[in-house]
Every structure is written in C-alpha cells, then in structure tokens.
Amino acid sequence: MMGRTGVDGSVIDLTGKVAFITGGGGGIGRSIALCLADMGADIAILEVIPERCEQVAEMVEARGRKALCIAGNAMDVDVVQNAVTEAARHFGRLDVLANNAGGVTRRPFVDLVEKNWRRHIDLNLVSNLAATQAAVPIMIESGRGGSIINVTSIEASRAAPGYAVYAACKAGINNLTRTLAVELAHHRIRVNAIAPDYTVTPGTRGQFAGAVDPSLWYQPTPAQEEAIRRRIPLGRAGVDEECGRVALFLASEMSSYVTGTIIPVDGGTWASGGWIRNDREDWVLPPEATN
C-alpha cells in the first residue's frame, strides 16, 4: 500500500492529489516534489532553468506519477498565476502549493540600490503572494481544502547582517503564514512554513545554471565543515530531503490539525540561540568559543 497508516488512522498517502511547487527544479523545491511524488502525488513545478524542468519530470515519472514542468520565472506575477491555473486545469485539481522559489545575494544594506531590493522582494515575497492568490480560489472552489507550505528561513527569526532585504521578506512570509492560516481555516486550507538553516543544495554549492549536477558543486574546506559542526547542534549541514520530508508531513493528513506553524528544519540552530561548541565540545557563547 502507498503511504502509512498510524494508530489513529492518519495516513501519509497523497494518491490522487496534485502539488504545485515554485522553484521545483533543484534543491529544497525538487526534494519536496520528489518526496510528495514518492507518496503518490502528481507534481507541477514552475522552474526558471528549462533543463531542470526536464530532469524533474523524468524523476517524477520514474516514480510512476505524472509531471507538468513549466519553464518560467516566479518573479513575474502573470507567469506564476498562469502556471498555477494551467496546473489545476491540466490535472483537474490542486491540493498542495509549496512556495519555495527564493534566493539571496549577500551585500551590506547601505550598498544596495532600489533595483536590488525589488529583485529580492519579487523573488522571495511577490512570487509567494502571486502563487497563493492564484491557488486559494481553486482550493476553495474544490471544497476539499488544501495545504500551503511556505519555505521561509531561519533568517526570518534572527538578525541577518548582509541579508537585510531577504530576511525582511522571509519574516513577512512567517507572518503571512500565520495570518492566512487564520483567514483560510474555515475553507480547510492549512498554511504552514518550514524554516531551514544551512542546507546542501545547488544554490548553496554555487550551481545556478544547467541541469542539477553535484559533480560541479563547490566543496567546503575542512575548516568550513568544522565551523558548521560547531555552530549547528546536530553537527552538520542539512540535506534537502530533510526539508522534503517535513513538507510531506505538512502536505498529508498526518498534519490535519496543524496550521499557522513555522517548523525549523535546522539541526537545532534556532534553539541554540548563538551558543556554539568549543574545542572541548562544551557549549559556550562567544567570545569563550575558542577557549
């Protein structure tokens, strides 16, 4: 049987359901697509790199599910809204929306110009508003409810020097998540978010073009690996599938009474609140960190 039945009858079985994922061609978005396909969902993605569309379509179809991969830019409101509409028309329904497209360039706030802010806002916030506003009426009209999963960041909940506009957008997404959870509850549309910390993806490993190919990725030095180990309580970077699995929980009926939450998928970084491991494996606050 596809899916798993818990003691209370809750199941992770998405057979017959349809999910739409922005930026679904690589990294966390692709992992969400594949985790949901593994449990029976048909998948639509919007992806700006055409080769990644073909790659994900093949991976979804290899799992026995149907794929619709639309090449387009999530920063363009019309493109996003047309893609959501096309996906719902193509599959005849829409059950899950994962707002994943996002990204950041590091630069001090005072060095940014208006074009830079607007690019960050369009990619990280407007893309989310556009997809959500297109998907919600479809979910309401179906009478079946739905699940909206926003990919935010740990940077939404702490200061993020060099990433000011990105962090502001992600903080906006956190409160959008809570607000829409309440506004849409009576339609049985649940709205939740996952908040990753450092996760290995094409983006964090420097691949921004072409089909996903880990052989092209930048490899961190031992010193960088050690810095991650000291900073993240679970002692390593995240793996994209670890976000995909939490998204699967949020997409499924296993989370039927969960809405308005922001789930850290961060190896414990948010909980650690700045404590790091020192040379003796004790947890300390800087400046004691290297003693």
Ligand X SMILES: NC(=O)c1ccc[n+]([C@@H]2O[C@H](COP(=O)([O-])OP(=O)(O)OC[C@H]3O[C@@H](n4cnc5c(N)ncnc54)[C@H](O)[C@@H]3O)[C@@H](O)[C@H]2O)c1
User: What does the binding site for ligand X look like in residue numbers (CB under 6 A)?
Assistant: 23, 25-29, 46-49, 52, 73-75, 100-103, 123, 151, 153, 196, 198-199, 201-204
Which residue matches tokens 């200061």? 159
Pairing verdict, β 18-22 and 42-47: parallel
Comparing CB distances to ligand X, the nearer of 40 and 263 is 263
- CA–chain centroid gap for 201, Å, is 12
Comparing CB distances to ligand X, the nearer of 13 and 67 is 67
Token pair recorded at residue 192? 């939740």
Closest approach, Cβ 118 to ligand X, in A, equals 13
Closest approach, Cβ 203 to ligand X, in A, equals 3
User: Got the DSSP string for 5-70?
Assistant: B-TTS-B---TT-EEEEETTTSHHHHHHHHHHHHTT-EEEEEESSHHHHHHHHHHHHHTT--EEEE
Active site residue 166: yes
Closest approach, Cβ 137 to ligand X, in A, equals 22
* Helix, strand, coil share of the chain (percent; to 5): 45, 15, 40
Closest alpha carbon to 242 in 215, 213, 265, 274: 265
Active-site residue, from 163, 166, 198, 218: 166
Closest approach, Cβ 233 to ligand X, in A, equals 16
Give the Å distances, CA to CA, from 206 to 103, 209, 219: 12, 9, 9
Closest alpha carbon to 158 in 171, 177, 149: 171
Closest alpha carbon to 205 in 223, 217, 222: 217
Closest approach, Cβ 280 to ligand X, in A, equals 28
C-alpha angle with apex 164: 289 to 209, nearest 5 degrees? 95
Comparing CB distances to ligand X, the nearer of 64 and 103 is 103
Closest approach, Cβ 165 to ligand X, in A, equals 12
Residue type, 66: K
Comparing CB distances to ligand X, the nearer of 91 and 163 is 163
Comparing CB distances to ligand X, the nearer of 94 and 101 is 101
Q: How far apart are CA 32 and CA 98, in angstroms?
A: 8
Cβ-contact 51, 210 below 8 angstroms: yes
Comparing CB distances to ligand X, the nearer of 75 and 136 is 75
Would you name the residues annotated as active-site residues? 166
